[in-house]
Structure 1
Amino acid sequence: MPDFLGMMKQAAQLQSKMQAMQEELGNVEVEGLAGGGLVAVRMTAKMEVKGVKIDPSLLKPEEVEILEDLLVTAHADARRKAETAMQEKMQSLTGGLGLPPGFLGFGS
């Protein structure tokens, strides 16, 4: 017969670790770059955008479309890095449990 009390205790510990990890993810920041660094987007591993930097050379009316494209690219780069950071944190949390990817709502 499975040790249900032990399983419940493990589940409670995992929940506590998940809450701590969520707080920690808010402190992990990544930076996405585009245009060789002309545009940068800084965000947390919780996908909250914290800042945007734009090189002044892009602030010309004829460069608007380029700037828009670079912002989208920098945001996508930052998002990929944030997702990687989140997955690494989840792996360290659930590494010994043998859970499938995405089981706790993270990852793919």
Structure 2
Amino acid sequence: MVNLNQFVKQAQTMQKKMQEMQEQMAGKEYEGKSGGGLVAIKINGRGECLMVHIDKSLIKEEEKEILEDLVVAAFNDAKQKFDSESQDSLSNTFGGLSLPPGFKMPF
């Protein structure tokens, strides 16, 4: 039988570590690029877009669709970097805690 006090302490520890990790991640920025750097997007650790840079050479009416696709690709590149680091941080943060069998995090 699992000691309830020990389980509560572990849950509190996990909650505190999760909060600390979220605060750290929120302060970071991730930059995604596409088109060989002609389009760049910067997002923060909350997944909010902070900046979009589009090289002047791309701003042509006949290439509008290509430009839009490059912006999407740059954003997805930045988001993938954020997601990857978030997952690594979670693994490192909670890797040492012993959780009861079947316990799943709510995310």
TM-score band w.r.t. shorter chain: 0.7 to 0.9
Shift of 1:105: 4.2
Q: Normalised by the size of structure 2, how large is the TM-score?
A: 0.86
SS of residue in 2 equivalent to 1:30: strand
Shift of 1:35: 0.1
2:52 is aligned with 1:79: no
Percent of counterpart pairs with the same letter?
A: 45
Name which structure has the greater RCO, CA cutoff 8 Å, separation 6+.
2
Paired residue type of 1:69: D
SS of residue in 1 equivalent to 2:30: strand
Query: Which segments of 5 or more consecutive residues in structure 2 lack a partner in the other structure?
Result: none
Aligned residue-pair number = 103
The one-character-per-residue Cα deviations of 1:10-44 (angstroms, maximum 9, x if unpaired) are 11111111111111111121111100000011112
Alpha-carbon distance change, 13 to 98 in structure 1, aligned in 2, over 3 angstroms: closer
Partner of 1:3: 3
> For the residues of structure 1 that align with 2:51 and 2:92, how far apart are their CA atoms?
28
Moved over 6 A (4+): none
2:65 is aligned with 1:65: yes
SS of residue in 2 equivalent to 1:19: helix
Structural RMSD (CA):
1.6
Partner of 2:47: 47
SS of residue in 1 equivalent to 2:51: strand
Shift of 1:71: 0.5
Q: Normalised by the size of structure 1, how large is the TM-score?
A: 0.85
